[in-house]
């Protein structure tokens, strides 16, 4: 996604957990603990993958995208479909996305990635081509300066 930034990858932690499971240092019950909410989110908002579950190998993993941020108001903390994210990214200035992989068979789950999306990640030039413009002024405690983006745009 175009405005994706501040990507944090959790694959090392994931690998460490899987290694400990293999060694028997962590029981599978401890890592296969997806809550009913997470499993529901996987069913209704999840993104299917071709990757087999590393624990049970019975089912493919499903990715769930959780969104967080003040601008989301009451929908903060909800799971969103992947297809909805670019739309949100063009509407909001900044929000966090947490990507969790879930196995719907054994309830294995792990955070795999987190990143920031939103219009603040667009260059000034791209901003001008965006229809949804935030009206300047009009009371807001949000910071106003956009100077940090100058010179970022490619021509």
66 or 108: CB nearest Zn ion? 108
Among 71, 105, 127, 149, binds Zn ion (CB under 5 A): 105
Contact between 122 and 94 under an 8 Å Cβ cutoff? The reply is no
| 64 forms part of the interface with Zn ion (CB under 5 A) | no
Which residues, in sequence order, are CB contacts of 54 under 8 Å at separation 6+? 18, 108
| 53 forms part of the interface with Zn ion (CB under 5 A) | yes
What is the H or E stretch that residue 110 is in?
A: strand 109-117
* Least distance to Zn ion, CB of residue 104, Å: 8
User: What is the size of the binding site for Zn ion (CB under 5 A)?
Assistant: 7
Among 64, 108, 117, 119, binds Zn ion (CB under 5 A): 108
* Least distance to Zn ion, CB of residue 31, Å: 10
Q: What does DSSP assign to residue 41?
A: H
- Cα(116)–Cα(75) distance, integer angstroms: 16
H helices within 46-137, ranges in order? 85-91, 124-128
Among 97, 103, 116, 122, binds Zn ion (CB under 5 A): 103
Given the rule CB under 5 A, which residues bind Zn ion?
Answer: 53, 55-56, 103, 105-106, 108
């Amino acid at each position: 996604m175009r405005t994706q930034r501040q990507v944090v990858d959790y694959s090392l932690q994931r690998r460490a957990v899987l290694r400990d499971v293999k060694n028997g240092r962590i029981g599978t019950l401890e890592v296969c603990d997806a809550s009913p909410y997470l499993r529901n989110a996987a069913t209704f908002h999840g993104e299917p993958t071709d990757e087999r579950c590393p624990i049970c190998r019975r089912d493919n993993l499903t990715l769930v995208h959780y969104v967080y941020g003040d601008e989301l108001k009451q929908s903060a903390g909800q799971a969103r479909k992947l297809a909805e994210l670019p739309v949100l990214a063009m509407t909001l200035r900044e929000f966090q996305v947490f990507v969790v992989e879930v196995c719907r068979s054994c309830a294995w789950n792990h955070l795999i990635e987190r990143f920031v999306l939103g219009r603040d990640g667009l260059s000034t030039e791209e901003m001008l081509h965006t229809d949804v413009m935030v009206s300047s002024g009009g009371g807001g405690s949000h910071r106003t300066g956009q100077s940090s983006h100058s010179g970022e745009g490619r021509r």
